[in-house]
Amino acid sequence: MRQRVKGVRRLQRSEYATDSVTLARRLLGCTLVRAIEDGPCLSGVIVETEAYCGAPDLASHAVGGRRTPRNEAMYAQGGTSYVYFTYGMHFCFNVVCGEVDVPLAVLVRALEPVEGIEEMKRRRASGRKAMALERLRDTDLCSGPGKLCAAMGIDRALNGVDLVSDERLWIEPGAETSQIATGPRIGIGFAKEWVEKPLRFWVKGNPHVSGRSK
DNA sequence: ATGACGATTTACT
DNA sequence: GTAAATCGTCATA
């Protein structure tokens, strides 16, 4: 198995075999790593997540047990990635957790960039909806689910891959985060009694979290 | 076959 | 603050 740095391990299968709230908190402080062929490794510390809670969750793509070609990856085993395309232009990256056929997932909403920052800038400054290169601050690189996918080169080719074994994308554990803030999830105003539930988690005071959390 | 819309981002008033 | 960009997906027919 490819490792970025000797002695740094990945999160293992058993650590994904849990509910989405537990994993959403656990992922804060962990490092998402993207290995690019013929390029530098891109990585960032996860600083903002959201838990999606399966069939009862009115905000989940799997609400009511809905199972379609698009959200099939949510029903895979814990440790699988779920990448979807939305608004005709953005990708969002989720970590599936729990057991097979139970559609739990954690949306990764923001990273604090660590490795490959210049490459992330280039990726964020090219393409259609792109911010001008000179305008890009480090806190603009990965401070949102669509932004971090653009910066990290995460697209539909990485949907459904196994983060425990894939050579292009994985997660390394971090120290337990002490200062965790919670609040309602973003962009799910349609979800009725699930709108206000505190299922978004972020590292308190971190400048790399998405706009409304700062 | 058609149409409504989205777990967003950016630019602009 | 508001609106535009942009297209795959899914429910309906």
Residue A131: the pLDDT is: 78
Q: How far is the CA of A76 from the C1' of B6 (A)?
A: 23
pLDDT tens by residue, chain A, 214 residues:
445 666 679 999 999 999 999 999 999 999 999 999 888 899 999 999 999 999 999 999 999 999 999 999 999 999 999 999 999 999 999 999 999 999 999 999 999 999 999 999 999 998 767 777 887 999 999 999 999 999 999 999 999 999 999 999 999 999 888 899 999 999 999 999 999 999 999 999 999 999 856 5
Q: Cβ of A212 < 7 Å from strand C?
A: no
Q: What is the pLDDT of residue A8?
A: 74
Q: Quick check: A85 CB within 7 A of strand C?
A: yes
User: Could you tell me if A201 and A25 are in contact, meaning their C-beta atoms sit under 8 angstroms apart?
Assistant: yes
Looking at residue A165, its pLDDT comes to: 97
pLDDT score recorded for residue A1: 47
Backbone phi, then psi, for A48, in 5-degree steps? -150, 130
Identify the bridge partners of residue A116 per DSSP, sorted by sequence position. Answer: none
Nearest nucleotide to A136 (CA to C1') is B10
Assess whether A87 (CB) lies less than 7 A from strand C.
Answer: yes
Closest nucleotide relative to residue A89's CA, C1' based: C6
**Measured in angstroms, what separates residue A88's CA from nucleotide C5's C1'?**
8
Structure-block tokens of residue A169 = 């994308």
DSSP A150: H
- What does the block give as tokens for A180? 């965790």
Distances, alpha carbon A177 to alpha carbons A5, A22, A54, A119, in Å: 22, 13, 25, 27
| Cβ–Cβ under 8 Å, residues A81 and A95 | yes
- Cβ atoms of residues A126 and A140 within 8 Å: no
Backbone angles phi, psi at A75, to 5 degrees: -95, 0
> What positions of strand B are covered by protein, i.e. any atom < 7 Å from a CB?
6-11
Write the CB contacts of A37 (distance below 8 Å, at least 6 apart in sequence): none
